[in-house]
Chains A and B, each alone.
Chain A
Amino acid sequence: MDFSLIWHNIAELLTYQKDAPMIFSSGIFWALFIVFMPVYAMLKERRWQMLVFVVAFSLYFYYKSSGVFFLLLVGTSLLDWTLSKVLVRQKTELKRKLCVAVSVAASLSVLCYFKYANFFMWNWSMMVNGNFQPLDIILPVGISFYTFQSISYIVDVYKGRVKPTDTWLEYAFFLSFFPALVAGPIVRADYFLPQIKDNTRATQEEIYYGFWLIILGVIKKSLIADYISQYNDLIFANPTGYTGLESLMGVIGYTMQIYCDFSGYSDMAIGIALIMGFKLSANFDFPYKSLNLTEFWRRWHISLSSWLRDYVYIPLGGNRKGTFRTYVNNFLTMLIGGLWHGAAWKFVFWGAMHGAGLAVHKASKPWLSRIPDKWWVRSVCWAITIIYVSLLWVFFRADSWMDSWLIIKNIFSNFHIDYLPVFVEVRYVWCILMSVIIIAHALPKRWWALAGERFVRSPWIVKLAVFLIVVQLVVQFMSEDVSPFIYFQF
């Protein structure tokens, strides 16, 4: 056995690799977490040592995902914390506001440069007929998430909702907390900082409930989302190359994929945090059960929508300035929410359409409230909501406007139901996984709570067996390709 080769490979795994960010479902994360856990457990009672250890691990986690950009995170945290300390000492409102403005401007400038510089320049060059040469900018992982956390902190300090942390270390812990660092949930200072102070220990039940969430997250993200995405990718890569039925399946597939992907990762983050004794707020609450768009946004990416509500919608005036302004504020908030998802017009459009949908729903409320609450009314409401949301995912996912329209057009103009049996026969694994997630999503919430409780109370050996089975299933499906073709022969 060549040990030098093994050491070389381990060193390679532990250093920053451009195309291999550290994610919770990766083997390298779990190997490190096995080392992290006992040290953390030992240090948990010694608060300061625990803080130093977790901040160091979080920064390493960020380095592994974004290389030297972990220094940016350190810089942002230092600036925010210093300004928050300066802010509370100021007597005049103007100076206090200035501190907030500097902190928010600094955070947003960094975000704008890394995420939106090329987008703005491209648009500018289109307006002036210039020759656009994109800057070679690498987007640091998770920057959109921690920028929003940083803004919420300074605003909350200004509003008096939280006191600035005594030390930079505590603030760095909040900003860089690795479970929520790269993909949320967006942690709010007023919710999280007291937990750092209290340093509550996780109970045995919480540890295993966290483990349960991790297992659910692995199933959603690594098993279902990663597998079904292969087929969806084919459809979106070649919008006219498939029948309408196949395109429709691709759209339904992507609707479930984005939910499984994102909510699965959130589940893992919340589970890991819970195991460490920290509670993160829920990020998804069975969003596709929503009966209207307003409800959808209360259930989808909750940490983002509540952040947007508190730091964009309400400061814009919320619903306090008349009906028309309420709709405009709603629309603008969703526009910003759309742009937050990515630097492209398709995201702006996606956000705008959700904003418009919310405004229409709000405007229709007096009329809607007169409709009797019958099962068929709820069914129609649900159908309208899910169709609207799914159609907008097409614009979110497709590479261009043209592709989006082609896919939608294909569904309506080239639809042949007789392809269905062949489709099911050839892509049966995809169909099974889709059925599993659709049924699982439709089950009552209390069933899931019950399943979680059962898991927590189950014998240790059962937990081990469940984990082994889930990981092996992930391994089985990892190298499994979805059949790209409806025809068995190629």
Chain B
Amino acid sequence: MKKYFGFWAILVISFAIFLTLSGFDSIKVGGFELRSSGMIDRLTKAPDTAVVAHDSLACMPDTVVEQPKEVDETPQTILFIGDSMLEGLSPRLAAYAEANGHTLYSVIWYSSTSEVWGETTKLQEYIEEFKPTYVFISLGANELFVRNIAERRDKFVKNIISQIGNLPYVWIGPPNWKPDTGINDLIAKNARNGSFFLSNGMHFDRAKDGAHPTRKSAGLWMDSVARWMPEHAAHPIKMDKPEAAKARPKRVIILQPKK
């Protein structure tokens, strides 16, 4: 028994230290932030709390559809285009697609903006190639701080939407980490009713770049979009929550940043 005491004491003391430290928000040692083990959070978490702190439904400005639409149960071919945020969103949307009989094609254009997409006909080309019946867009994160954005990007946002034509779509707004200079308002103004999901105001766990949500948080972000769709999207489609955390789109196209 005595022989084990030293080893056991190390375990107990370490456990006590990490448990105690997890009760503090942030501890810095010599300017270096020590992360929390999250033990206390795990013990005190309310059942089924998500990472998303508040529901974005509460802050949808002009885009809320008054009457819930009937959910389209037919299998869809979904085209999902956008910037690097798709790295986190796309695998989760692929899981939804897989579970609900949809087919997903993703096009990730790194560092892209509404300007990059809007000054080309890429979207139209992909629509012709994949013949989607539904389009998801995630754009705006690279232009949160552009000055005079309403003047400079209005035509590009309009062009993107015009390329979609009559297809139903959902534009997932950027996950602001700071207040934007107007990109969310610009998209909301141009998007059809029930086609813009405002992500601004949601809480995200961020990756170390401070901008991208972590994979888990991005998955929950997509869950929020899926929860929002049945009652608020102009054209809701079947989006039952999948068991799998992620899946792979049928095809992923990567476009490198414009030089």
Contacts and interface: CB of A to CB of B under 8 A. Distances in A.
A41 B1 contact: yes
Contacts of A201: 3
Nearest to B32: A476
A463 B214 CA distance: 34
Contacts of A481: 207-208, 212, 214-215
B43 A31 contact: no
A468 interface: yes
A319 B174 CA distance: 65
Nearest to B42: A9
Given A9-B43, A207-B3, A490-B85, A37 B142 contact: no
B17 A37 contact: no
A468 B110 contact: no
Given A37-B8, A471-B14, A8 B84 contact: no
B36 A475 contact: yes
Given A487-B257, A490-B111, A467 B212 contact: no
A203 B43 contact: no
A42 B142 contact: no
A484 B87 contact: yes
Contact of B141 (A471, A478, A490): A490
Given A203-B3, A275-B7, A34 B43 contact: no
A240 B252 CA distance: 9
A442 B21 CA distance: 37
B7 A207 contact: yes
Nearest to A201: B3
A13 B38 CA distance: 14
B173 interface: no
A38 B13 contact: no
A2 B44 CA distance: 8
A460 B11 contact: no
Given A30-B15, A238-B252, A479-B35, A9 B45 contact: yes
B236 interface: no
Contact of B211 (A34, A242, A490): A490
Q: Which of B3, B110, B111, B205 has most A Cβ within 10 Å?
A: B3
B43 A10 contact: yes
B47 interface: yes
Contact of B35 (A5, A27, A208, A476): A476
Contacts of B4: 37-38, 41, 207, 275
A462 to B, nearest CB: 11
Contacts, number: 123
Interface string B128-155: 0000000000000110000000000000
B11 A30 contact: yes
Given A37-B4, A472-B34, A483 B209 contact: yes
Nearest to B112: A490
A211 interface: yes
B84 A485 contact: yes
Given A27-B39, A463-B10, A476-B34, A34 B15 contact: yes
B167 interface: no
A252 interface: no
B3 A489 contact: no
Interface string B1-27: 101101111111111011000000000
A68 B11 CA distance: 30
A295 interface: no
Nearest to A480: B208
Contacts of B6: 204, 207-208, 460, 463
Nearest to B34: A472
Contacts of B46: 5
A471 B85 contact: no
Contact of A478 (B1, B35, B43, B45): B35
Contacts of B248: 237, 399
B190 to A, nearest CB: 23
Contacts of A1: 44
Nearest to A478: B35
B124 interface: no
B85 A38 contact: no
B34 A490 contact: no
Contacts of A230: 215
B111 A460 contact: no
Given A9-B43, A9-B44, A38-B8, A31 B15 contact: yes
Interface string A23-63: 00001001101100110011000000000000000000000
Nearest to A5: B44
Contacts of A471: 14, 18, 37
A42 B1 contact: yes
A464 interface: yes
Nearest to B141: A490
A460 B254 contact: no
A485 B207 CA distance: 12
Contact of B11 (A34, A237, A241, A489): A34
B212 A487 contact: no
B91 interface: yes
Contacts of A202: 3
A8 B47 CA distance: 9
B30 to A, nearest CB: 14
Nearest to A203: B3
Interface in B185-242: 205, 207-209, 211-212, 214-215
A44 to B, nearest CB: 8
Contacts of B13: 464
Contact of A490 (B11, B45, B142): B142
Interface in A432-478: 460, 463-464, 467-468, 471-472, 475-476, 478
Contacts of A204: 3, 6
Contacts of A472: 18, 34
Interface in A1-21: 1-2, 5-6, 8-10, 13
15 contacts: A230-B215, A242-B254, A275-B7, A471-B14, A475-B18, A475-B34, A475-B35, A475-B37, A480-B208, A485-B110, A487-B257, A489-B111, A489-B142, A489-B257, A490-B111
Given A6-B43, A9-B42, A275-B7, 12 more contacts: A27-B39, A37-B11, A41-B3, A207-B7, A241-B108, A460-B9, A464-B13, A484-B87, A485-B84, A485-B110, A487-B111, A490-B111
Top 4 A-B residue pairs of the complex, sorted by shortest distance between their CB atoms: A490-B84, A481-B207, A241-B254, A41-B4
Interface of A: 1-2, 5-6, 8-10, 13, 27, 30-31, 33-34, 37-38, 41-42, 201-204, 207-208, 211, 230, 234, 237-238, 240-242, 275, 399, 460, 463-464, 467-468, 471-472, 475-476, 478-481, 483-485, 487, 489-490
